[in-house]
Amino acid sequence: MDNGIEFKKFCFKMKWERRLEKKFSKFPLEVKERYAEEFDHYLKSNDHGLPHAANVYGKVLEILDRFSVEEIREMDIDIERLEAMCIFHDAGRFLVPVESAPNYAKRKRKGQILHEYAGALLAEIFGYNHPIIREGILRHDYFSQDFDPGKKPPVSIEAQIIRAADKTSVDPADEIERYDEYRRKFKFPLFNRDTPTEFRLDWNFSFKRDSRTDQLCYFFAVLALRPENFIHPVLQEYYRDWSQQKKEAVDKILEIVRKDQGDGAADIVDCQIAAYLKARGISF
The predicted structure's pLDDT at residue 101: 44
**What are the distances in angstroms from CA 248 to CA 10, 35, 77, 80, 229?**
27, 38, 33, 34, 21
Taking only the tens place, the pLDDT of each residue in 85-104 is 999 999 988 864 444 444 44
The predicted structure's pLDDT at residue 98: 46
CATH 3.40.50 fits 1-169, yes or no: no
**What share of the chain in percent tops pLDDT 70?**
93
The predicted structure's pLDDT at residue 17: 98
Whole-angstrom distance, CA of residue 209 vs CA of residue 237: 33
79/1: higher pLDDT: 79
Whole-angstrom distance, CA of residue 87 vs CA of residue 97: 15
Give residue limits of the domains in the chain: 1-169, 170-284
pTM of full prediction above 0.85: yes
Mean pLDDT score, 202-219: 95
Taking only the tens place, the pLDDT of each residue in 232-261 is 999 999 999 999 999 999 999 999 999 999
Taking only the tens place, the pLDDT of each residue in 111-130 is 445 789 889 999 999 999 99
Whole-angstrom distance, CA of residue 214 vs CA of residue 220: 10
Mean pLDDT score, 190-204: 94
The predicted structure's pLDDT at residue 284: 79
Whole-angstrom distance, CA of residue 16 vs CA of residue 230: 29
Burial grade of 228 (CB within 10 A; 0-12, 13-18, 19 or more): exposed
Taking only the tens place, the pLDDT of each residue in 58-84 is 999 999 999 999 999 999 999 999 999
The predicted structure's pLDDT at residue 150: 86
Mean pLDDT over each residue of the chain, to the nearest integer: 92
Helices 50-64 and 233-243, packing angle to 10 deg:
120
pLDDT at 163 over 80: yes
